[in-house]
Amino acid sequence: MTTFSNRDKNSIWHPFTPQVDGKEAVTIVRGEGALLFDEDGKEYIDAIASWWVNIHGHAHPHIAKRISDQLKTLEHSIFSGYTHKPAVILAEQLLQLIPHCGKVFYSDDGSTSVEVALKMALQYWHNSGKPKTKFIAFENAYHGDTFGGMSVAERNVFNNAFEELLFDVAHIPVPVKGSEERALKALEKAIDENTAAFIFEPLIQGAAGMIMYDAKILDEMIALCGKRNVITIADEVMTGFGRTGKMFATDFLTNKPDIICLSKGLTGGFFPLGATLCTDKIHSAFITNDKTKTFFHGHSYTGNPTACMAALASLEVFGMENTMKRVGEIGKIFSGWMKEFSADAKVNDARSCGAVFAIELKTAGQTEYLNPIADRIHDFFPGHGIILRPLGNVLYVLPPYCITDVQLEKVRTAIQRFLELN
């Protein structure tokens, strides 16, 4: 019998997937809450929120209805020289949530929201008549798969095929516990008169293995950049919309970044949409009668009304379901997990922040994306009705906020069982 999994293998090239492993992709046909169902009716707990995007649960009825209503009115329209209500209202609400910013620039996803931010920073200095081209980023950074995003990322397996084509970036240590002073001094040393911007993932480096650090040191780093006239860019693509315990990771900061990148949870997991927010200071460099200083960037689906409506509906769900209260409850559960798994002899480190939990496993290989234990994790958890996608030897849980305590306990028990067997 030919299944969609068979047909998929003959026609589709999946992301981040080796082309010789012979494994068939699981065909998902339905979602509800924190669960996904395959074509055989088997259910899986989506313990990583379908690549960190689904925050309220699959097929959420309120968001689905708002999208359906929007599709009957306006599915898409050109966004250069024209506008529409969903984009305007969403921008207003995002600026209310991030009040130190003054403008919203829409794009298509997380990578493009970062690309917009990098170009915005570079052109700010160009338009100001003081061209600067140097970026500073953290070691281990991941900022998407476009060329700008790859350039400011760590040089690793994700981008080594393109290394010669990437622009140079100064990478400094991540200010994890015990390395704060070293990281701050490295930032101070890296800044020179050609430094355009410092880009960072606030509080959690996602793709690097859920590496976590404190808001206090990031505050100091942003303050230093302010004194040295360096633009700061917060990549909140993963950390935004409640994931760290507040609506945005930058809500933990006293000193705010000049530019903020949003995507993933922005639409509740329903549609791709990116948003890059900037301060009035950044935007002011583009207010000029000189048309050559226009920000010449855009996408065919920029500001898509249906995606904007999904984002508005997602923000409504936060109020309707008291979502941040549930995030706090998940955070307390994960704090308990952290204490439990830290005591396991097979765990090198356990850490949590808001609704993110991660354990770094002790393995013969180093901590990296291609660590062989990742294959064992991939093979083990679907058999237990759980979707987990490890980052090498880092096993993490980043669920939809609607996940129940019973479902979380099933995930915890399965992790415990995996450790016993491995």
Q: Which two tokens stand for residue 237?
A: 């693509």
Q: The domain 4-56+321-421 is classified under which CATH number: 3.90.180.10, 2.40.10.170, 3.90.1150.10, 3.30.1180.10?
A: 3.90.1150.10
Q: Report pLDDT for 16.
A: 86
Query: pLDDT at position 368, please?
Result: 78
- List every span in the chain annotated with CATH 3.40.640.10: 64-319
Tell me which residues of the chain have a pLDDT lower than 70. 1-2, 365-367
The CA–CA distances, whole Å, from 187 to 141, 166, 176, 184, 307 equal 15, 21, 14, 5, 38
pTM of the model as a whole: 0.97
The candidate with the shortest Cα–Cα distance to 313, out of 346, 351, 271, is 271
Residues of the chain within CATH 3.90.1150.10 domain(s) are: 4-56+321-421
Degrees (nearest 5) of the Cα angle 255, 260, 263? 140
pLDDT at 419: 96
CATH 3.40.50.720 fits 64-319, yes or no: no
pLDDT of residue 366: 66
Q: What angle do CA 321, 308, 57 make, to 5 degrees?
A: 35
The pLDDT value given to residue 102? 98
- Write out the chain in H/E/C secondary structure: CCCHHHHHHHHCCCCCCCCCCCCCCCCEEEEEECEEEECCCCEEEECCHHHHCCCCCECCHHHHHHHHHHHCCCCCCCCCCCCCHHHHHHHHHHHHHCCCCCEEEEECCHHHHHHHHHHHHHHHHHHCCCCCCEEEEECCCCCCCCHHHHHCCCCCCCCHHHHHHCCCEEEECCCCCCCHHHHHHHHHHHCCCCEEEEEECCCEECCCCCEECCHHHHHHHHHHHHHCCCEEEEECCCCCCCCCCCCCHHHHCCCCCCEEEECHHHHCCCCCCEEEEECHHHHHCCCCCCHHHCCCCCCCCCCCHHHHHHHHHHHHHHHHCCHHHHHHHHHHHHHHHHHHHHCCCCEEEEEEECCEEEEEECCCCCCCCCCCHHHHHHHHHHHHCEECCCECCEEEECCCCCCCHHHHHHHHHHHHHHHHHC
User: Given this model, what pLDDT does residue 365 score?
Assistant: 67
Query: What pLDDT, on the 0 to 100 scale, is given for residue 370?
Result: 85
